[in-house]
């Protein structure tokens, strides 16, 4: 009987989410529940579960991909010194590869605690440590609290906005698909930059899409930009859902940064990150036209953004401290 009722509730929820109003109401209710959980100190979430459903080989391939992406985009051979990774989610694997590179210390910083299967992750860690000669000193370790050189930080004090007030002296600060979820990414960037050593590097991969808020219900990928500004935070703030901070704000916060496009409106993922000017003209035109066709429905603040900036739905930001 309980299973039948759950199935009925799920079916009803799917029907309600097919309308703009219904979806917004449910997202507000979900966010309110999350707000109550946070007030109780419950920071557990099913977001950030990058390794759920992967076998060990697939998890190692994912870890390698993220690590390689950071190195490639920053044009570096390896990590060194002190490193902070923002929002690593359910696994320390990328941090372990940074140690294998030669990093002395890695801080893994997360506002939330992603659900995980400890046995699954123990198997991933054992395989990674056995593969990497630079991790020989960790042989026999298979849980995150046992890795010398890695420190895990959770909760509000570990949010990107707060952590770097007191934690400084980093050679690298990195994130992947995280800054679009933090409450104030611009303040976070300012504090991260101040926390870098001279010559230090920030590497941030940012995904400006709606992360399924509306697209999972069959809506257009730009639909979430239509939600009134007064309502949108009530749907997102406690859940860590996309913050809708546009590309222009990131550019203004880091005027000397290199920004390369990874995704465009139209669900176009590029073969490699490129500067806007390097993109094929037909891709740029198509993305801009899609924005123009919907822009009149956007909030007034977003309507003031350049079409070209709204056409970018993913980018890599590389910034170096002088």
> DSSP of 62-77, one letter per residue?
HHHHHHHHHHHHHT-S
pLDDT of residue 3: 63
Question: For residue 319, which phi and psi values (nearest 5 degrees)?
Answer: -130, 135
Cβ–Cβ under 8 Å, residues 79 and 172: yes
Q: Of the candidates 209, 168, 186, 187, which has an alpha carbon nearest to the alpha carbon of residue 84?
A: 168
- Which pTM does this prediction carry? 0.93
pLDDT of residue 299: 98
pLDDT of residue 29: 95
Q: Using the 8-state DSSP alphabet, how is residue 23 labeled? A: H
pLDDT of residue 5: 58
Q: Of the candidates 268, 262, 275, 269, which has an alpha carbon nearest to the alpha carbon of residue 315?
A: 262
Domain ranges for the chain, please list them. 2-39, 44-320
Residue position matching structure tokens 């906005």:
161
Q: Using the 8-state DSSP alphabet, how is residue 81 labeled? A: E
Please state whether beta strands 268-274 and 150-154 pair in parallel, antiparallel, or not at all (unpaired).
Answer: unpaired
Q: Which two tokens stand for residue 100?
A: 């294998």
Q: Of the candidates 224, 196, 231, which has an alpha carbon nearest to the alpha carbon of residue 210?
A: 224
Which value, to the nearest 10 degrees, does the dihedral of the CA atoms of residues 219, 304, 207, 231 take? -60
Fold held by 44-320 = Rossmann fold (3.40.50)
Mean pLDDT by runs of 10 across the 322 residues of the chain is: 61 74 94 94 89 95 97 97 96 98 98 93 96 94 91 96 98 98 97 98 98 95 98 95 98 97 91 95 97 98 98 98 90
Neighbours of 115 (CB within 10 A): 14
């Amino acid at each position: 009987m309980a299973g039948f009722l759950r199935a009925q509730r799920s079916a009803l929820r799917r029907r309600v989410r097919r309308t703009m109003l219904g979806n917004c109401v449910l997202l507000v209710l979900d966010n309110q529940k999350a707000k109550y959980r946070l007030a109780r100190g419950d920071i557990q979430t099913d977001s950030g579960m990058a390794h759920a459903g992967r076998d060990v080989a697939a998890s190692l391939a994912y870890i390698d991909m993220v690590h390689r992406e950071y190195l490639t985009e920053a044009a570096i051979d390896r990590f060194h010194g002190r490193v902070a990774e923002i929002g690593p989610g359910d696994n320390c694997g990328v941090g372990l590869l940074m140690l294998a590179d030669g990093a002395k210390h890695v801080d893994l910083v997360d506002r939330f605690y992603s659900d995980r299967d400890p046995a699954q992750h123990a198997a991933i860690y054992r395989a990674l440590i056995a593969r990497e000669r630079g991790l020989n000193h960790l042989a026999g370790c298979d849980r995150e609290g046992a890795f010398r050189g890695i420190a895990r930080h959770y909760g509000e004090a570990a949010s990107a906005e707060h952590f770097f007030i007191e934690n400084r002296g980093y050679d690298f600060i990195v994130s992947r698909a995280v800054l679009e979820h933090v409450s104030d990414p611009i303040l976070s960037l300012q504090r991260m930059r101040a926390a870098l050593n001279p010559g230090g590097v920030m590497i941030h991969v940012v995904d400006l899409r709606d992360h399924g808020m509306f697209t999972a219900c069959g809506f257009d990928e730009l639909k979430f930009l239509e939600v009134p500004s007064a309502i949108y935070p009530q749907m997102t703030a406690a859940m860590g859902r996309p913050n809708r901070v546009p590309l222009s704000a990131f550019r203004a916060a880091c005027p000397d940064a290199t920004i390369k496009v990874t995704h465009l409106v139209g669900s176009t993922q590029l073969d490699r990150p490129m500067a806007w000017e390097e993109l094929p003209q037909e891709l740029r035109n198509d993305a801009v036209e899609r924005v123009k066709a919907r822009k009149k429905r956007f909030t007034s603040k977003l309507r003031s953004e350049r079409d070209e900036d709204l056409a970018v739905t993913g980018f890599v930001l590389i910034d170096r401290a002088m």
